[in-house]
């Protein structure tokens, strides 16, 4: 999968996540009067949105890499973390409404048209931030957590503004809320993808085989390449690839590739190596798979 398609896929996952959240949010809104407090209502609504949207985004890496293990673990982690994020986001939105909305927009019209949407958008930004760090937490990757914080916050803020202004324009429209949730997911997904690509220092592009043209961002300090689904770059279907064939280590702007299995050779520019520093344009051969290393 190319880097551009990766961003598009994040956006599509976000759209579908928003659509998945919608019927459950409508059900909770229908019974809103049954909740004894606004806080409890906000928590339940936040958990519902976070569970489905977080779970959907958590599965994105498994979908991209066609890995059932990452799909399952990411979905579970995303649902749990997303539920927490939904709760924090909705509570943050209510807090911002009291602190920001009433302080800066104290006129009746200003509060309705600016204070409420802006305050609640800050809550959505907190929600987006938490959802964005799901993959980083699952993979224990600091750089991915950073990407999720930036991309999730920006996407949540922009998407949250869309959600809230749709609510201002169509306060009682059921389908307007559907559009708003879908736009929220879209903005979070695309924003995360753009930040991920922008922050990456290098990438690998497959030059051969059934996955030719696929690109892999080297965002982590340690990237494992191999034939099993637990690796970061999984080469399913390629011949002569060890379970953990090679490891790429990042130290600042330098990338070093290390042979992972002594029985399986590793080649860089057709030279057999055990450990070497990579340079822009180097061709790496792992089994019958060939990559080109590119600096960003």
Confidence of residue 171 (pLDDT cuts 50, 70, 90): confident
Confidence of residue 111 (pLDDT cuts 50, 70, 90): low
Confidence of residue 170 (pLDDT cuts 50, 70, 90): confident
Q: What is the mean pLDDT of residues 220-233?
A: 88
Confidence of residue 165 (pLDDT cuts 50, 70, 90): confident
Sheet holding 222-226, edge to edge: 233-234, 222-226, 246-251, 254-259, 275-277
The residue ranges of DSSP E strands in the chain, in sequence order, are 202-206, 215-217, 222-226, 233-234, 246-251, 254-259, 266-268, 271-273, 275-277, 283-286, 289-295
Q: Is the dihedral of CA 225, 226, 232, 236 positive or negative?
A: positive
- Give pLDDT tens digits for 13-66: 999 999 999 999 999 988 999 999 888 888 898 899 999 999 999 998 888 877
pLDDT(112) > 70:
no
Confidence of residue 76 (pLDDT cuts 50, 70, 90): very high
Q: Is the pTM for the entire model greater than 0.75?
A: yes
Q: What is the mean pLDDT of residues 246-275?
A: 92
209 neighbors 228 (Cβ within 8 angstroms): no
203 neighbors 3 (Cβ within 8 angstroms): yes
pLDDT(101) > 60:
no
Q: What is the pLDDT of residue 51?
A: 94
């Amino acid at each position: 999968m190319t880097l551009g398609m990766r961003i598009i896929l994040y956006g599509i996952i976000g759209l579908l996540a928003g659509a998945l959240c919608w019927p459950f949010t409508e059900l909770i809104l229908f019974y809103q009067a049954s909740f004894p407090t606004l806080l409890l209502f906000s928590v339940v609504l936040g958990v519902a949105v976070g569970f489905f949207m977080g779970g959907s985004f958590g599965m994105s890496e498994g979908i991209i890499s066609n890995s059932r293990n990452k799909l399952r673990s990411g979905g579970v982690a995303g649902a749990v973390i997303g539920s927490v994020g939904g709760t924090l986001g909705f509570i943050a939105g209510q807090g911002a409404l009291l602190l920001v909305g009433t302080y800066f927009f104290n006129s009746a019209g200003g509060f309705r048209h600016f204070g409420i949407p802006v305050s609640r958008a800050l809550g959505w930004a907190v929600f987006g931030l938490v959802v964005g760090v799901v993959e980083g937490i699952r993979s224990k990757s600091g750089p991915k957590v950073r990407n999720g914080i930036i991309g999730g916050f920006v996407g949540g803020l922009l998407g949250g503004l869309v959600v809230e202004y749709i609510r201002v324009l169509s306060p009682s429209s059921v389908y307007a809320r559907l559009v708003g949730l879908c736009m929220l997911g879209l903005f979070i997904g695309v924003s995360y993808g753009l930040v991920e690509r922008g922050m990456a220092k290098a990438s690998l592009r497959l030059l051969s085989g059934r996955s030719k043209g696929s690109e892999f961002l080297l965002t982590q300090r340690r990237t494992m390449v191999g034939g099993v689904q637990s690796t970061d770059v999984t080469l399913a279907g390629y011949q002569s690839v060890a379970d953990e064939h090679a490891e790429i280590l990042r130290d600042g702007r330098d990338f070093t590739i290390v042979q992972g299995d002594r029985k399986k050779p590793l080649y860089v520019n057709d030279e057999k190596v055990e450990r070497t520093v990579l340079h822009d344009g180097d061709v790496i051969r792992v089994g019958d798979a060939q990559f080109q290393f590119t600096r960003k």
